[in-house]
Amino acid sequence: MLSQVVELIENKQVFGITTHVRPDGDGIGSSLGLCWLLRSLGKTAEVIVGSNIPICYQQLPGADEIRLVREIDREYDAIFVIECSDILRPEIKNLDQQFTVNIDHHATCEHFGTVNWIDSTASAAGEMIYNLCKAIGGRITKEIADCVYCALVADTGSFHYPNTSDRTLKVASELVKAGAKPAEISEMIYNGYSWGRIELMREVLNTVKRDDSGRVAFLRQTVAMKRLSGAVDGDNANFVNIPMMAKEVEAVVYMREVDEEIYRVSLRSKGNVNVAKIAEKFGGGGHKNAAGCLVKGDWDYKEQELVKELVKAVEKVHQDELELTFA
């Protein structure tokens, strides 16, 4: 709960902050925003991660101070774990032996922390960091504003995903008043990639297919594609959303090979098609319109399984709408 987090910060001094491996804008922006908040309150704080952060987020204030670690190598009063479905997501050894504060906006998140603050009504973890700042009486500095605004933009798709609420836009407005520059942050997020991203995009889009109905699209990324394109972690950000640009497509599955017969899966949907429930069936989770999981086995078979589930979900939504029409 928020009140527990506030009490902890008030009574402790040394904090670590981490997020999931291959961090996105919400994970990095929220972590750095929290770090700046803690420091402004006179606390000792640092961000540690288990993998390199994408190039496009390395311009955020404080990003150059982030430490890459394989295990906990310092003593902290508590470690904040931001936007992680479970304690293993940061891939930092011995993290499970620490006093942890779990902060997440995904309803499917495991309550793995010593303290858990889960708010599924928040559009992003960044929105929760803003609320924490207000609750503890902190001042929104320009550094906090930049980092948290980045988190909001990244997790709401520049405020056009369904998780965007009037509250989200009010928070964004306050961050702009505090010094965040929307144009500069958007330029950093969307136009800060290497040419390797373009080469990788070309290869991935060559794999795009649709099911017989045309409503479900699926695409792949192999290990070789990433290597030959010269792409780095994060260069494939938002590839899963590209097929959604077609009005006929209502759901997408994007499978990325990470090792032999191991695939990281991203699911996206429109309207009432709930991909979080599908992700949960495969051991993952997320939001109604954006979710993910990790699967193992034969690629073709697993892809067919996922596509089949998406087709069923899309058909159910259409059937429900039809029944309402004639009710």
The string of pLDDT tens digits covering residues 233-267 is 888 988 999 999 999 999 999 999 999 999 999 99
Average pLDDT over residues 212-221: 96
Res 124: pLDDT: 92
Give the residue from 99, 112, 92, 78 showing the smallest Cα distance to 49: 92
Q: What is the pLDDT of residue 155?
A: 87
Output 85 or 250, whichever has higher pLDDT.
Answer: 250
Higher per-residue confidence, 299 vs 288: 299
Distances (CA, A) of 99 to 31, 58, 87: 17, 28, 12
Beta bridge partners of 115: 101
How much is the mean pLDDT over the chain? Answer: 93
| pLDDT tens digits, 94-138 | 999 999 999 999 877 788 999 999 998 999 999 999 999 999 999
The whole-number pLDDT of residue 327 equals 61
Write down the residue that tokens 């067919």 correspond to: 304
Residue 190, exposed/middle/buried by CB under 10 A (0-12, 13-18, 19+)? middle
Model confidence band, residue 56 (pLDDT cutoffs 50, 70, 90):
confident
CA–CA gap between residue 179 and residue 169 (Å, rounded): 15
Helices 25-40/142-156 angle, 10° precision: 160
Residue ranges and CATH numbers for the domains of the chain are: 2-190 (3.90.1640.10), 195-325 (3.10.310.30)
* Average pLDDT of the segment spanning 183-191: 90
pLDDT in tens, 273-287: 999 999 999 998 888
In the predicted structure, residue 31 carries a pLDDT above the cut 90: yes
Q: Which residues pair with 103 in a beta bridge?
A: 82, 117
Range 290-309 average pLDDT: 94
Cβ 19 vs Cβ 90: under 8 Å: yes
Q: Mean pLDDT throughout 130-154?
A: 95
CB neighbours (10 Å) of residue 307? Answer: 19
The half-sphere exposure of 65 on its side-chain side, counting CA atoms within 13 A, is 12
**Structural tokens at position 57:** 């987020």
> Measured between alpha carbons, how far is 57 from 61 in angstroms, rounded to an integer?
9
pLDDT at 142 over 90: yes
What 3-state class would DSSP assign to 170?
helix
Task: Name the residue with higher pLDDT: 317 or 325.
Answer: 317
Q: What gap in Å lies between CA 268 and CA 157, rounded to an integer?
A: 12
Which one of 61-65, 163-167, 191-195, 236-240 scores highest in mean pLDDT? 61-65
Q: How many CA atoms lie within 13 A of 292 on its CB side?
A: 14
